[in-house]
Amino acid sequence: MNLIILPIIGLLTYIAIFYYRYFNRTNPLPGPIPLPIIGNVLQYPGDAGKWANQLQLIYGDIFEIYLGTTRTICLCRADLVENLMKSNFYLRTTPNDGLDDFGVSKKGIIFNRNHDDWSYHRRFLQKTIMAPQIVKETVESTQVLFQEMEELWKRLGDEKEIDFAGWISRFGFENIVLLTTTLRIHSLTNYYNKVNPQDKVVEPEGTLPNSETYINCAKSFFDGATFSLLTPKILRYSPGIIGTTKNLLNQKNWLTTNLLGIIKARRSQIENSTEKIDTHDILTQFLTINTDKDVTQGIVDKNHPGRMSDDDVRANMTEILGGGAVTTPSTICFIVHYLSKYPDVQKRMVQELDSVLGSDRDSQFTIDQLKKLEYTEAVLNEVSRVFPSVPVNFRASSQPDEIAGYNFPANTQFLINMEGIHHHPSDWRDPDVFNPDRWLDGSTKRSKNTFLQFGGGARVCPGRSLSLAEIKTVIALLYRKYDVELVDKKGGG
């Protein structure tokens, strides 16, 4: 009998203590009442932006939720996030056992909580992936790959509908693999063979195998990290959910194993080469830093004299490839969707493309020409404002700070509702109206932190220049040659 009563007493005691602490917490904010252990996770609808916006309507611009047992302060107005852009908010999250289990809290830059390690890798990426030469190469490779994709579209014929989202995700992954490794995965060819098996194209020699698996695992990396962050351990390993947990881990492990294979092969190639290394792709720079064949420029520092380990390289490559397969293609799809909904905007943008890039639809263009596409960039910005590819962002404090008049201790978790900030009427005139003109010269000056296209502060995305170059190039290539229509004009594009 005691074996039954004691656990019940223990559970009731835990619940009583939980709610006593909850109702007597410091700086109480409005928000949904959490459940013990799991917090408000069961209320999560599967769309973080939608959830944050729904809660903002109910509780205002600052409220709190509980992600498991972690109290999370949600901020939905630009002036409220100003302090979060300071250097002491370099952390993405407070300690999280889910991210520990997923293996990302001590590696890479997205979720890495080790400040010294994070800052070193971030500085490396800022000096490599944001370099003008990489941006120039992005514009060039995007045009080459787009031409390859066009040839495959022609083979499909005019009668076959194009699943643009499917094609552009393969395109984005192919491009980022090429730019970072110089390797060809030929994901476009493999995708063509998948959608048109009766007329298969022979894969070129040297193709990396399993391109579809690479893409699926790269995409699921962010899903797995988000799932691990938001889902308490008691739920992650519960019946009915444990299968999802294992599947996400298996996909991450597959990607880890195969990327390590590429990394080890390239390192061996570099070490055994007797000739000077004349390639400066991202992977080669990762692998040669602090070696006698170092091709990096001014990245090394006295605090990190050793070479970068294979697993550190793998962690950085995983995040880069995931961005190439997910966020950049998603933004391109959103732009296509909104241009189809607003034909006048599309017409004006095409006129600019003709004016700046010339009437020869097959001519190559340069990064300098892209910079002159002011209205095209305004369209990109407005789409990113209305429908950001990453609607919310996380930050955690490394020391006590004051936010919105409240004093919060170190290791407080914050959530930035970027979609809410992008639509806030205090900072945007007619925030729900799609209007690219608001971005042109002479428009109303915007306040700080009202547009967080790539995050902001210490955690701003280091790949933003590369991403923007690819997006603008794809849009220019697509709309200077094609009339684009949505099959489902009422759908999400």
Residue 461 annotated as binding site? yes
Burial bucket for residue 386 (CB in 10 Å: 0-12, 13-18, 19+):
middle
How many other CB atoms are found less than 10 A from the CB of residue 7?
Answer: 10
Burial bucket for residue 393 (CB in 10 Å: 0-12, 13-18, 19+):
buried
Mention every residue, 6+ apart, whose C-beta is less than 8 A from residue 34. Answer: 22, 40, 65, 66
3-state secondary structure 232-288: CHHHHCCCCCHHHHHHHHHHHHHHHHHHHHHHHHHHHHHHHCCCCCCCCCHHHHHHH
φ/ψ of 118, rounded to 5, equals -60, -45
φ/ψ of 39, rounded to 5, equals 65, -130
Q: CA 339, CA 180: separation in Å to the nearest integer?
A: 31
Q: Are the beta carbons of 433 and 442 closer than 8 angstroms? A: no
Q: Are the beta carbons of 66 and 39 closer than 8 angstroms? A: yes
Q: Which of 205, 70, 111 is nearest to 393 (CA)?
A: 111
Q: CA 358, CA 366: separation in Å to the nearest integer?
A: 12
Q: Where is the binding site for heme, in residues?
A: 461
Q: Where is the binding site, in residues?
A: 461
